[in-house]
Amino acid sequence: MKILITGGAGFIGSALARYIINETKDQILIIDSLTYAGNLESLASIAQSDCYRFEHLDICNRAKLDHIFAEFQPEAVMHLAAESHVDRSIDGPDAFIETNILGTYTLLETARKYWQTLGEQAKKTFRFHHISTDEVYGDLHGTDDLFTETTPYAPSSPYSASKASSDHLVRAWLRTYGLPTIVTNCSNNYGPYHFPEKLIPLTILNALEGKALPIYGNGAQVRDWLYVEDHARALYKVVCDGEVGETYNIGGHNERKNIEVVQTICRILDVMVPNKPRNLVMYEELITFVTDRPGHDMRYAIDASKIERELGWSPQETFESGIRKTVEWYLANEEWWRRVKDNSYKSERLALTR
């Protein structure tokens, strides 16, 4: 299969790309505008594969998208390109509206124009797989409630509102134009190659450097944590076997309070890196509670029974195994994260493109 992946240099996109190249015989073409979170070094291990190709391209550029579709002739589109950091969306929502809404619209129109040129059999097998987030559902108030595929949308931040809008656009292009679309909504991802501004890598790296470990409010916010490589397997399963018009929620069955996540990382580091900075006795001494961000949802939790029942996918990693693997990866890949932190990863982008 020939798969076009948008946002393939990002955290989840690069995990998906590595999975497809390493585990299948499919060809991939990655489109990425290489904003701050796009890192071609996350694709270095597969960059020499004959089944891999990269194009430096913004999904809002219709003319270039048309050319790429016509030339590559994809059989599936996996759309991951998005601005995704809630704090950044609060400080500057413009980029989220442009990329997540207008970019998705432009990609849908390009895909629709291309799809209409296909033969009848190719039309039937073509897939537009839109990868979204559980944050579109808003907040869960009960301790036992779960997000299902029919949970009403109630986004709380500019980020989640822009993703909710893109979800609606994708479903409208199916209903109105017949474009064969599928939507997946995932819980919080974590794992290797995660940009250091996110909670888990930020905690690991700040702890190693003896810096404060900031936690919003009292740290009681609950998230369902999904190991990124489990997510990559799920996404590939959906694009191959998912039903057109369906939505699949993807979760890790790993609900944890933010404070528990940080404490767990600290305890792992206590054992793995006993020589602590600043004469610390325990890394938990670095925990600092800060003012909560506006509109902060308290609890997310995914009901992933549909994808398990209908497509046979389930997560392989528990939170305990996944978080240990994640800490081990950051300890073993200091060059990668130091180049991200000092911005030197941006300097070799052109050399790494093909």
Given the residues 55, 134, 167, 317, the one annotated as active site: 134
Q: Which of 114, 159, 248, 300 is catalytic?
A: 159
Cα angle, residue 28 at apex, residues 26 and 30 outer, rounded to 5°? 165
Catalytic residue among 32, 135, 229, 317, which?
135
The residue with tokens 């929620």 is 249
98 in catalytic set: no
Burial of 42 (0-12, 13-18, 19+ CB in 10 A): buried
Is residue 134 among the annotated active site residues?
A: yes
**Amino acid identity, position 164:** A
Q: Is 320 a catalytic residue?
A: no
Q: Which residues belong to the active site?
A: 134-135, 159
